[in-house]
Amino acid sequence: MPEWLKDAAFYEIYPQSYNDTNGDGIGDFDGITEKLDYIKSVGFNALWINPCYDSPFMDAGYDVRDYKKAAPRYGTNNDLFRLFGEAHKRGIKVFLDLVPGHTSDKHKWFLESKKQERNEYSDRYIWADHAFFMKGHPYIAGMSERDGIYMLNFFASQPALNYGFAHPNEPWQMSYDSEAAIATREAMKDVMRFWMDRGCDGFRVDMADSLVKDDDPDKKYTGLLWQNVREMFDKEYPECALVSEWSNPEQSILNGFHMDFTLDNPQTGYRSLFRDYRDVLSKSGGSGINSDSVDLAQDKSYFRSEADSDITKFLDWYLPQYNKTKDKGYISIISGNHDTPRLRRTLSYDELKIAYAFMYTMPGVPFMYYGDEIGMRYLDIPTKEGGYGRTGTRTPMQFNHEANYGFSDAKAEDLYLPQDPSLDAPTVEEQEADKNSLLNTIRAELTLRHKYDDLKADAPFTVLHAEKNDPLFVYKRGNLTCAVNPSKRETSFEGVSGSKVLFSLGETELSGNKITLKPQSFMVIG
Alpha helices in 143-210 (DSSP H): 179-196
From candidates 111, 183, 187, 207, binder to ligand NOJ by CB under 6 A = 207
* Residue 29 phi, psi dihedral angles, 5° rounding: -60, -45
Binding mask 270-289 toward ligand NOJ (x if CB under 6 A, else -) reads --------------------
- Would you say 49 or 455 has its CB closer to ligand NOJ? 49
Stretch 89-108 residues interacting with ligand NOJ (CB under 6 A): 99
Q: Which of 101, 89, 96, 35 is nearest to 63 (CA)?
A: 101
Contact 309, 300 (CB under 8 A): yes
From candidates 7, 66, 112, 339, binder to ligand NOJ by CB under 6 A = 339
- Nearest approach, Cβ of residue 154 and ligand NOJ (Å): 4
Residues 6+ apart with CB under 8 A from 300: 272, 276, 277, 307, 309
Contact 147, 132 (CB under 8 A): no
Binding mask 154-183 toward ligand NOJ (x if CB under 6 A, else -) reads x-----------------------------
- Would you say 304 or 390 has its CB closer to ligand NOJ? 390
Total number of residues binding ligand NOJ (CB under 6 A)?
Answer: 9
- Nearest approach, Cβ of residue 29 and ligand NOJ (Å): 20
- Would you say 30 or 206 has its CB closer to ligand NOJ? 206
- Would you say 338 or 456 has its CB closer to ligand NOJ? 338
* Residue 324 phi, psi dihedral angles, 5° rounding: -80, -20
Stretch 216-245 residues interacting with ligand NOJ (CB under 6 A): 245
Distance between CA atoms of residues 414 and 252, nearest Å: 41
Distance between CA atoms of residues 67 and 157, nearest Å: 16
- Nearest approach, Cβ of residue 339 and ligand NOJ (Å): 5
Distance between CA atoms of residues 174 and 146, nearest Å: 18
How large is the C-alpha radius of gyration of the chain? 23
- Nearest approach, Cβ of residue 289 and ligand NOJ (Å): 22
- Would you say 59 or 79 has its CB closer to ligand NOJ? 59
- Would you say 260 or 350 has its CB closer to ligand NOJ? 260
Contact 206, 62 (CB under 8 A): yes
Task: For residue 136, count CB atoms less than 10 angstroms from its CB and return exposed for 0-12, middle for 13-18, buried for 19 or more.
Answer: exposed
Distance between CA atoms of residues 308 and 442, nearest Å: 24
Binding mask 25-64 toward ligand NOJ (x if CB under 6 A, else -) reads ----------------------------------x--x--
Q: Which of 479, 472, 473 is nearest to 502 (CA)?
A: 479
- Would you say 331 or 442 has its CB closer to ligand NOJ? 331
Q: Across the strands, what pairs with 35? A: none
Interior angle at CA 148, CA 143 and CA 151, nearest 5: 75
- Would you say 59 or 454 has its CB closer to ligand NOJ? 59
Contact 359, 371 (CB under 8 A): no
Helix axes 179-196, 220-236, angle to 10 degrees: 40
Q: Closest CB to ligand NOJ belongs to which residue? A: 62
- Nearest approach, Cβ of residue 387 and ligand NOJ (Å): 8
Q: Supply the DSSP symbol for 213.
A: B
- Nearest approach, Cβ of residue 101 and ligand NOJ (Å): 7
- Nearest approach, Cβ of residue 447 and ligand NOJ (Å): 30
Interior angle at CA 18, CA 80 and CA 241, nearest 5: 50
- Would you say 62 or 274 has its CB closer to ligand NOJ? 62
- Would you say 66 or 339 has its CB closer to ligand NOJ? 339
Distance between CA atoms of residues 358 and 353, nearest Å: 9
Which helix (H) or strand (E) segment holds residue 221: the answer is: helix 220-236
- Would you say 106 or 324 has its CB closer to ligand NOJ? 106
Binding mask 428-467 toward ligand NOJ (x if CB under 6 A, else -) reads ----------------------------------------
- Nearest approach, Cβ of residue 60 and ligand NOJ (Å): 6
Distance between CA atoms of residues 137 and 146, nearest Å: 20
Distance between CA atoms of residues 113 and 150, nearest Å: 10
- Would you say 338 or 344 has its CB closer to ligand NOJ? 338
From candidates 54, 123, 206, 276, binder to ligand NOJ by CB under 6 A = 206
- Nearest approach, Cβ of residue 267 and ligand NOJ (Å): 15
- Nearest approach, Cβ of residue 277 and ligand NOJ (Å): 21
- Nearest approach, Cβ of residue 207 and ligand NOJ (Å): 5
End-to-end CA distance of the chain: 28
Stretch 59-88 residues interacting with ligand NOJ (CB under 6 A): 59, 62
Q: Which of 287, 250, 243, 112 is nearest to 187 (CA)?
A: 112
- Nearest approach, Cβ of residue 245 and ligand NOJ (Å): 6
Would you tell me which residues interact with ligand NOJ (CB under 6 A)?
A: 59, 62, 99, 154, 206-207, 245, 338-339
